[in-house]
Amino acid sequence: MRGTIAALDPTAKRFQLGTLTVDYSAASPAPAGLANGVQVRVRASSEPVAGVLAATRVDVVATPDLGDVSKVEIEGVIDRFGSLADFSVDGVRVDASKARLEGGTVADLAVGRRVEIEGPVQAGVVVASKVEVEDDDATSEFELKGLISGFVDVGHFIVRATPVDASGSVTYEGGSALNLRDGACVEVKGTLQSTSAGSKVLASKIQFESSCN
């Protein structure tokens, strides 16, 4: 999972990523450089329980150094909001004063909200031509790497004790849906969704690996 730290409690060794609480008390090595507003990548060996994810590793992700380019696309979480002309998405400054808004209004732009930004970069600032406000359900991005087990079909299999659904629009690397089977080593990227039977990862990308060691 990747996101921006909020409500950091170094005593309890917990912080928030969106609506999810991350417990890093058992993370190894001990995380360094954690602070509110810092972007991190969190790894865990099991799905969240009662809204709490037990992290096995937490790594600080450096903010990209953007040069002047004609167009970029950034998908992430708003971690600072001063105004429409001055806010940040995962540490990247954005000026959306002249942007076209899709999927929401200015009132929806707030810290913790997931957005997709498109536009040129000028002096390190993305001058957005389009801002798409995404559903809150899409805020939990997950990555899993491990051996497939319990394979029933593309919509029902397990990776590292986590149910995976790859029945939607999925990008494959190193193979195809026909290669999904028990014992295959894969890296799965997608979003965490809650169902009546528990949580599952709705896959958006699956990469086949030669080894899971």
Cβ neighbors of 102 (< 8 A, separation 6 or more) are 130, 131, 132, 133
Burial class (CB in 10 A: 0-12, 13-18, 19+), 15: buried
Query: In the listed set 60, 79, 101, which residue is the last one of a domain according to the structure?
Result: 60
**What pTM was computed for the model?**
0.44
In a domain, 213, yes or no: no
* Domain total of the chain: 3
Q: Which string of b and e fits 64-89 if b means at least 16 CB within 10 Å?
A: eebeeeeeeebebbbbebeebeebbb
pLDDT in tens, the chain (213 residues): 777 788 999 999 999 887 789 999 999 888 888 988 787 888 888 878 888 889 999 988 766 656 677 888 887 778 778 899 988 887 788 999 999 998 888 888 887 678 889 999 888 889 999 999 876 544 456 778 889 999 999 999 998 778 899 998 899 999 999 999 999 999 998 877 655 566 678 898 999 998 876
The domain of 127 spans 69-135
Which pLDDT score is estimated for 189? 87
Nearest CA to 35 out of 6, 1, 77 is that of: 6
Q: What is the CATH number of the domain that holds 109?
A: 2.40.50.140
CA distance 143 to 163: 12
Same domain, 6 and 46: yes
CA proximity to 195, closest of 152, 162, 159, 150: 162
Task: Identify the domain boundary among 87, 103, 135.
Answer: 135
- 131 and 145: one domain? no
CA 143 vs. chain centroid, Å, equals 8
Give residue 49's identity as a one-letter amino acid code: V
101's tokens:
């808004």
122 and 175 fall within a common domain: no
Q: What residues contact residue 165 under an 8 Å CB cut-off, 6+ apart?
A: 155, 156, 200, 201, 202, 203
Beta bridge partners of 127: 95
